[in-house]
């Protein structure tokens, strides 16, 4: 995944409010007061308060009990209408597509992988490669020691099959996103549609999951192991479908046998009793502590299903420590789920509701204007040639109004409206992806010191938040950018600009 390995300068092209879509899922999950479903409002409030205080980067949270949403909240600028990148939580959806294709007789989990790609088979394939089956892809036991790469200039299926398979398939667990891609390619080969299109009428539409997006490989195959973007309530619906053993509104969308197999322990992956990544692995689902199972994605995207408690928890976030979020769920939420209806507690439920509506990421702290001796407003600071194509930066402020950050990037001036004390939503251009592209984002900025201007940029369809810092020193400005999380280095080298 190439997104924000090292985040480049990002700039706003519009600062108006983002368009609000219809309620996610249309006829979404029904709602209930927590106590009516045996959930303590006070305990849920405790979870929310602790998450807000200790988990930097919570974006959303939904708790479903007995099929009803009893608590839901979004940390502004994140909201219910905006899709969020799922990363490896996508794998559980790909598994579902495989299960549906199996049910239609399009393939079997016992089929050899080579069967589907006759044009990509290497000369003299090894016995281990010939023995690799669909079930081995599903349970991340392909026999690889190293995950195959997926460069843009190669055919991914062919590259996968050319990778050495030193272990007998089924005997060695290796988390392998390329294996999930192969599952997506197999589904597309057998049903004649991408996984995204195949799941449309079979899963997304019945669940009311509107307008999901899913990236594709250079060969036009849904990425499978990542790349899906849906809303938080969509995650909750998916989990509820699995909790209900594949049934939705009286219709069996996914075979119950597949749900059972996919969420069972299909292979061992460790022995640490305190780790939710050592409890076994199913068919693209993780087994968890406390009898639960889940799909999850990088930097804190979770679909947690608790069959014993008849509950589902959906979370999106941008965190380095994913185990810390699960620990908080087990410590704070699990005890809140009681076996019987609880007495009404209007005061507690109202307090919870109000707190959920007021959640926000911490805006950038600081003053609205620089120190009295810092004379930088209106000056153009130019940068030498650099790989980020950043040409110049200017800070503008009219009277007591908000500061505007003007960034000249790749020959174009962009204006970033930066009102302090909150978040300004807009559309951003990220240079350094596959060409300039707009992304939904929000900005919070202030003078964190007399001579330091700091801007937080939250890319609200992703886990990523970039902190951009400008330190002014005489006729120079020192620019640093750092991302909260990333698949590679999160801090970019400093750039130094000089006033004209």
Topology of domain 362-499, CATH: Lipocalin (2.40.128)
Could you report how far apart the first and last alpha carbons of the chain are, in Å? 39
Burial code (b: 16+ CB inside 10 Å, e: under 16) for 455-470 equals: bbbbbbbbbbbbbbbb
pLDDT given for residue 428 in this prediction: 73
pLDDT given for residue 11 in this prediction: 36
Residues of the chain with confidence (pLDDT) below 70: 1-27, 429-437
Distance CA(45)–CA(35), nearest Å, equals 13
pLDDT given for residue 452 in this prediction: 97
Residue 328 tokens read as: 């908080």
For 215, phi then psi, to 5°, come to -65, 160
Residue 191 tokens read as: 């049903």
Centroid of chain to Cα 344: 35
The strand pairing partners of 412, in sequence order, are 409
Contact 145, 167 (CB under 8 A): yes
pLDDT given for residue 438 in this prediction: 74
Q: CB count, 10 Å around CB of 489?
A: 12
pLDDT given for residue 26 in this prediction: 38
Contact 450, 462 (CB under 8 A): no
pLDDT given for residue 21 in this prediction: 27
pTM of the shown model: 0.92
Q: CB count, 10 Å around CB of 215?
A: 16
Q: CB count, 10 Å around CB of 494?
A: 11
Query: Which residue ranges make up each domain of the chain?
Result: 362-499
pLDDT, one tens digit per residue, over 55-70 is 999 999 999 999 999 9
Give whole-number Cα distances, 412 to 408, 415, 481, in Å: 5, 10, 20
């Amino acid at each position: 995944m190439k997104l924000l390995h090292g985040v480049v300068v990002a700039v706003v092209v519009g600062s108006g409010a983002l368009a609000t879509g219809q309620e996610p899922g249309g006829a979404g999950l029904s709602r209930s007061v927590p106590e009516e479903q045996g959930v303590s409002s006070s305990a849920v409030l405790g979870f929310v308060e602790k998450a807000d205080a200790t988990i930097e980067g919570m974006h959303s949270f939904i708790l479903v009990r007995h099929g009803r949403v009893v608590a839901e909240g979004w940390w502004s600028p994140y909201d219910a209408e905006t899709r969020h990148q799922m990363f490896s939580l996508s794998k559980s959806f790909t598994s579902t597509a495989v299960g549906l294709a199996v049910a239609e007789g399009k393939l079997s989990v016992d089929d050899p992988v080579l069967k589907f790609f006759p044009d990509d088979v290497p000369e003299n394939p090894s016995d281990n490669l010939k023995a690799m089956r669909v079930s081995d892809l599903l349970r991340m036991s392909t026999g690889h020691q190293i995950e195959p790469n997926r460069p843009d200039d190669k055919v991914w299926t062919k590259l996968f099959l050319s990778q050495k398979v030193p272990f007998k398939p089924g005997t060695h667990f290796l988390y392998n996103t390329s294996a999930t891609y192969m599952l997506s390619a197999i589904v597309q080969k057998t049903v004649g549609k991408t996984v995204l299109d195949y799941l449309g009428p079979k899963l997304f539409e019945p669940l009311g999951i509107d307008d999901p997006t899913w990236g594709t490989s250079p060969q036009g195959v849904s990425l499978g192991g990542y790349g899906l973007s849906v809303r938080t309530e969509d995650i909750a619906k998916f989990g509820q479908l699995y909790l209900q053993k594949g049934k939705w509104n009286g219709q069996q969308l996914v075979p119950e046998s597949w749900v059972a197999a996919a969420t069972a322990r299909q292979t061992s992956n460790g022995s640490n009793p305190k780790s939710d990544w050592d409890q076994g692995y199913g068919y693209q689902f993780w087994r968890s502590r406390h009898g639960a199972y889940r799909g999850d994605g990088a930097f804190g995207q979770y679909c947690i299903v608790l069959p014993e408690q008849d509950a589902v928890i959906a979370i999106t976030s941008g965190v380095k420590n994913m185990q810390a979020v699960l620990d908080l769920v087990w410590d704070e939420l699990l005890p809140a789920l009681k076996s019987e209806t609880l007495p009404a507690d209007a005061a507690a439920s109202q307090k919870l509701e109000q707190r959920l509506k007021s959640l926000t990421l911490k805006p950038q702290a600081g003053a609205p204007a620089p120190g009295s001796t810092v004379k930088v407003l209106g000056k153009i600071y130019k940068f030498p040639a650099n790989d980020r194509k950043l040409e110049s930066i200017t800070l503008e402020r009219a009277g007591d109004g908000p500061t505007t950050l003007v960034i000249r990037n790749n020959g174009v001036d962009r204006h970033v409206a930066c009102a302090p004390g909150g978040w300004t939503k807009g559309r951003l251009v990220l240079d350094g992806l596959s060409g300039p592209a707009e992304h939904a984002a929000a900005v919070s900025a202030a003078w964190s010191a007399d001579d330091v201007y700091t801007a937080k940029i939250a890319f609200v369809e992703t886990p990523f938040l970039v902190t951009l810092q400008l330190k002014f020193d005489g006729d120079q400005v020192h620019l640093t950018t750092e991302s909260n999380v990333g698949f590679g280095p999160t801090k970019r080298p400093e750039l130094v600009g000089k006033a004209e």
